[in-house]
Amino acid sequence: MAETSATTTGTGENDSRPRKASWKYIGPGIVVAATGVGAGDLVATLIAGSKFGYTLMWAAVIGCLVKISLAEAAGRWHLATGRTLFEGWRTLGSWTTVYFAVYVVIWGFVYGATAMSSSALPIVALFPDGPGLKTWAIVMGLVGLVFVWFNQYAVFEKVMTVLIGVMFVVVVYVAVRVGPDVGASVAGLAPVLPDGSLFYTLGLIGGVGGTITMAAYGYWVNAKGWNNSSWMKVMRLDNRVAYITTGIFVVAMLVVGAELLHSSQVALTKGDRGLIDLGQILEDRFGAVTAKLFLVGFFATSFSSLIGVWHGVSLMFADFVERIRAERATGGPSDAVEPGGALVGRQERSVPFRAYLLWLTFPPMTLLWLDEPFGLVIVYGVLGAFFMPFLSVTLLWLLNSGRTPREWRNGWLSNGMLAAAGLLFLVLCVQQVRDLPW
C-alpha cells in the first residue's frame, strides 16, 4: 500500500515512495537470526530430536511462524511510527523503564560471561594444546569488543552474513550426512504430543531465536537506513527470509538429533558443552574432518551471538539513556521528545553505546573464575524469563492503539499470532521460574 506522507529516510532524502521488496536489501533479518540462535538453543533442539525423533517437527514450523510475527511487529513499529521500541515502551508507563533498566544491567553482566565461554569452547576443542577455556573466553570478549567498537552497521552486517552462511552450510551438511528419513520428517508435521513432550514442544516453539535480540530487530532496521513505512515490504521480506533460515537450522538439528542420537539413545550434556559431545560422536562416526567442520560451525553460531548482542543490545541501551536524558532536558514526556528512530544509525559512536559494550565485556570476566552467585542466578533467571512475554504483550498494546498509524495497526492475524506468542512465552516463563534453584 502506498504511503501518503513524506518521511525522512536514513539517507536524508524526503521520500515516501514504497520500496520494492528485493533480495539485495536483505540484512537486518540475517543479523537477528544469527544473533538469536545460540549454541544452547541448538543443544535443546538436538535433545528434543534425541528424545522424540521427528515427532516434534511441526513445533519447529510453528516456532518459525511465531518468530516471524514477533520480529515483524517490532520492525513495523519502528517503520510506521518513526519511534524506537523503547520510546513506545515509555508511553506505556514508567514501569517499563524500571523493568528494562534492571533487566539490561543484570542480564548483560551474566550473558557476557556466557557468550564468551560459549565462543571459546569450540576453539579449545579445535586447539586442545593451546590456551585454556578462560584465556580463550577473554580473547573472544576482547575481539568482540574491538570489532563492534571500531565498525559500524554496514561492516557488522557483512560479517554476520558470513557467519550465518558458515552456520547454514555446516548444519545442513551434517544433517545430510547423517541421512534424514524424509518420510518420518513429513509425518512429523502432523501435530502430536508424545508423553512427556509438552515442555520440550513449548521450548522448541519458543526457544530458538527468541531472545532480547528480537527487540533489537527494529534498531538494526533503522541502522540499515530504513526509517519510514516505505520500507515495510522490504522489512517483511527480510524478516521472513531470516526466520525461514532459522527454521531450516532447527529442522536440520532435529534431523541430527533423531538420526544420530535417538536410535542409539545417546545423551548430550545440557548447555553449550553438549555440542562438544556431538563433535566427538561425529568424529567417531564420520571422521575428524566432519567433526572439525562441525566445530567451525559451532564457533560461527556462538561468536555471531556474541557480536550480535554486543552491537544490538548496546544500541538499545544507548537509546534508553538518550531518551531519559532528552526527557529530562525538555521536562516533557516521551511524546514531547523528537522521535529517535532516525538517530539509531548514529548511536554507534555514542558514549552510552560504548559504555554498555564495556559492561558486556569486562565485569563478566570475573564470573569466568567464580560460580555465579546464587542470588544473581535467581534474579537473572526471573528477569530473563519475563522478557519475551513482556515483548509480546507490549507489542500487542502498542500496535492496537492510537500510538500506531491506523493503516499499520494489527490485523486479526497479527493479533492472533502475538497473543499466542504471549501465552506461549508466559507458560515458558512460569516453567523457567519454577526450574530455578530456589
In this structure, what are the phi and psi dihedrals at residue 27, rounded to the nearest 5 degrees? -175, -65
Beta partners for residue 8, in sequence order: 14
Task: Identify the pLDDT of residue 213.
Answer: 84
pTM of this prediction exceeds 0.95: no
Distance CA 438, CA 435 (A): 8
Cell numbers at residue 216, please?
533489537
| Whole-angstrom distance, CA of residue 286 vs CA of residue 260 | 11
* pLDDT for res 40: 75
Angle CA 28–189–184, to nearest 5: 115
pLDDT of residue 7: 38
Maximum alpha-carbon separation in the chain = 66
Is the separation of the CB atoms in 231 and 29 below 8 Å? Answer: no
* Contact yes or no for 158/25 (Cβ under 8 A): no
pLDDT in tens, the chain (438 residues): 333 333 333 333 446 666 776 777 889 999 998 888 877 777 778 888 888 888 988 988 888 888 889 999 999 999 999 999 999 999 999 999 999 999 999 899 988 988 898 899 999 999 988 898 899 999 999 999 999 999 999 999 999 999 999 998 999 999 999 888 888 888 988 988 888 777 778 777 766 556 788 899 999 999 999 989 999 999 999 999 988 888 888 888 889 888 887 766 666 776 677 788 888 888 888 999 999 999 999 999 999 999 999 999 999 999 999 888 888 887 665 554 555 555 665 788 899 999 999 999 999 999 888 766 566 667 666 777 788 899 999 999 999 999 999 999 999 999 999 999 888 888 878 887 787 776
H helices of 257-287, in order, are 274-286
Specify the pLDDT at position 299.
Answer: 94
- The whole-number pLDDT of residue 3 equals 35
Given CA atoms 136, 141, 142, 144 in this order, what sign does their dihedral have?
positive
Residue 98: CB partners within 8 Å, gap ≥ 6?
none
Residue 261: DSSP 8-state: I
State the pLDDT at residue 143.
Answer: 98
d(CA 249, CA 182): 16
